[in-house]
Amino acid sequence: MQINASMLARTRAEEHDADVWGEFFIPPYFDRLALTTATKSAYITGKRGCGKTMLLKYFDYHTAFSKRRKDIPADAIDHIGIYWRVDTQFCSSLKHRGIEDTEWSVVFESYFGLVIATELLRAVEAIANSSFPNFNSDDLAALTLPSAADYLDDAPTGVRQLVQYLESIRRKFTTWVSNVKAMDCPVLPPGRDFILSLVGDLRAKASLATLSVFVYVDEIENLVPYQRHVLNSFLKHSQRPLIINFTSKEHPSNNDTSGPESINATHDYRLVDLDYYLELSGAAMPFFAEVFLGNLDIAAGRFDSELLDVVCSHARLAERQKPQYQREVVADMRTRFPDVTDKQIAANALQVQTLKESLYRRISKALKDRRSNLAVEDFLFEGAPAEALVTLPALLNRETLLPDNVLAELKKFSKNRKGSFESTWIHNNLFGAILELYRPFARECPLYSGFDTLCTMSNNNLRNFLILCYKTLEVAELRDQIEPPYAVDIQCRAAYDASEQLIKEIRTFGRFGEQLRVFVLRLGSIFRALQASPAMSEPEQNQFTINSGGRPLQGDELAFIAEALRHGVLVEQLETKSKSGVGQDIVDYQLNPIYAPYFQISYRRKRKLEISVEQFHMLIMGNENEYRDLARGLARQLSDTDALQLGLLLS
């Protein structure tokens, strides 16, 4: 199959043009959004990589009135979407500089008016040039907008001329913002009223009588407070024909308006949490499969494929919700990205000389450490099940278990599949034991394979899922095994590469980026060290909870957690069982499972590490020595040699 690899590198909506008609895959929760028929504002939240920007581009007028869209219904103008991604460094410059916030507030309102009015007129041009039935280029040429001159002297009345006029004002405005002390501010239109007047002019035309403007302001959380307040006021007073919506990576935090009121989710806006909607749909797996397969078709130039038609057509959403269809699409992916059972991985591992020797050596060492008279050979009898053998180093290192008993249990299990191995030992320890077995051979542990695993590691995040898949294709090409199914070792290497790339990306996550990256490296290393402890009494730790300490969490620590959650570095989870058994833990934080392959730790949500406030502080803000002391203390069962190898001790 010939594919255009650069097409597949586009895992970000920003790499796509403003018009994404035919490239947007309708998500399973689409009907639930009901944005085009809304009568009040929406506050749309979604983590990075959830498909938020692509969704907003789909609702934006460039796509809704795309030249590529063949049949545009007459009611399409009931929702003219304007997606406005603000330039936060520009907006931040509308502050200080010897000018009071109250003055800046007026300026910002006008800036908003200028930007949205220009976009609205461009939208009208796009409508005229599209297949929209009741408004063509002649209508556009005949259209007059007399209201603009009420606000701006000499404003022309024609749409095209007015666009140019407003663009010219915007240029003057930007120049003034750059040089506020050296020149006078140009005359600017008022914000909301100006837009509403233009809408009024447009609605005077019969075919545009129901026109409504829906503005989607992205990155709302990064605006300075007074700008939030201005936009919150606009949101509070939103109704057709002008509705202001917000989009953000996080849930609303600043609800003040520029007046005495505040906004709230019951009266003023509808909270649309895209991550939650996807989870609720229960269709994340088939949807992820469709997006990958659809992108493969696009990259191969099969633009008229049946799959693309199904996935890009709103009208066909119901077809995709049928269980039979979903089973097929998931089965296709499972064939392409096969997995291996844990039991089979154990059996395969014992066929590899280096792994086998490593396992025997560790069993032997455990027996010696326990001063047992048994020898490793005693455990290697004919028919000893591999999935049990692999767990032996951990079991034999546990003080609570006598080696003779473990051997007896092994024999029992081997004979009739009964006993402790059957009831708990394999279930609790095999996954961790495999990770530990492969750890010295970094990067290619077969546990990180299979479509279902890719979905779990992606943690409902579409971008992370696609990166895992595309990395697999890359590795497959490098190894000259282009055609699916992709071998498990290829998938595992790709998972490591994807994980490594995404850890590097953390640096770019806002002002705490580098701190977050260091935190992930520290936390992951601690989990790896805990897993490497010989007895592995707490296998698969990849969560932590802060449930002790001499003081509550402080402002900077809470801000750090908020930032880690906002960027999806940590995943907040309802509490899992705590060791103390007392339900005093507030919340568990899981290290995003996409980072698991890099540290060779478990991506499954299993056990947590309980730490104190002070230890957490050390983890996020301590220097290297303090961190190493902390890590060494937490992983105290490790030998110095292992601690050295895992970077917890300095050589």
Partner 1 sequence: MRVRFFSVSGSSAADLSLPDDIVLLHGEELDERGESACGCAPKDARVMLSFGVEDMSLTVGGETKPSDLAVELLSGYDWRKVFLEATTLGFAELFCAANALLASGATTVNIIYVEPGEYTRVSKGADQFALSEPTRGYVAIPNAIVDLSSEEVEAGVFFLGFEPERLDRALEEYQMITSKDVKLVFGIPAYHPGWELDAIIPHLPALEQHKLQLDYCSANDPEAAFECLERTRDALGTDRRMFVAPIGPKPCGIASAIFASVYPEQVGLLFDHPRRKQKRSTGVDLWHRFTVTVDRGDDAAPTATAG
- Residues interacting with partner 1, by CB under 8 A? 9, 12, 14-15, 17-18, 53, 84-90, 92-93, 96-98, 115, 167-168, 170-171, 174-175, 177-182, 501, 504-505, 507-515
Measured from the CB atom, the residue of 122 and 236 that comes closer to partner 1 is: 122
Measured from the CB atom, the residue of 22 and 513 that comes closer to partner 1 is: 513
Measured from the CB atom, the residue of 183 and 442 that comes closer to partner 1 is: 183
Measured from the CB atom, the residue of 371 and 511 that comes closer to partner 1 is: 511
What's the rounded Cα separation, in Å, for the pair 419 and 157?
Answer: 86
Sole residue written with tokens 């949490």: 273
**Smallest separation, CB 518 to partner 1 (Å):** 9
Q: Other C-beta atoms within 10 Å of 486: how many?
A: 21
Q: Angle at the Cα of 253 (from 252 to 259), degrees rounded to 5?
A: 95
**Smallest separation, CB 87 to partner 1 (Å):** 4
Tokens of 158: 């024609």
DSSP per residue, 96-161: -TT--HHHHHHHHHHHHHHHHHHHHHHHHHHHHTSS-TT--HHHHHH---TTHHHHSTT--SSHHH
**Smallest separation, CB 470 to partner 1 (Å):** 11
Measured from the CB atom, the residue of 171 and 636 that comes closer to partner 1 is: 171
Measured from the CB atom, the residue of 168 and 239 that comes closer to partner 1 is: 168
Contact 290, 265 (CB under 8 A): no
Measured from the CB atom, the residue of 515 and 590 that comes closer to partner 1 is: 515
Buried b (16+ CB within 10 A) or exposed e, 356-373: bebbbebbbbbbeebebe
**Smallest separation, CB 392 to partner 1 (Å):** 39
**Smallest separation, CB 174 to partner 1 (Å):** 5
Tokens of 640: 């110095």
Q: How far is CA 444 from CA 343, 449, 452, 494, 599, in A?
A: 17, 10, 17, 9, 11
Q: Other C-beta atoms within 10 Å of 415: how many?
A: 10
Buried b (16+ CB within 10 A) or exposed e, 143-158: bebebbeebbeebbeb
Measured from the CB atom, the residue of 505 and 610 that comes closer to partner 1 is: 505
**Smallest separation, CB 111 to partner 1 (Å):** 9
What's the rounded Cα separation, in Å, for the pair 285 and 331?
Answer: 11
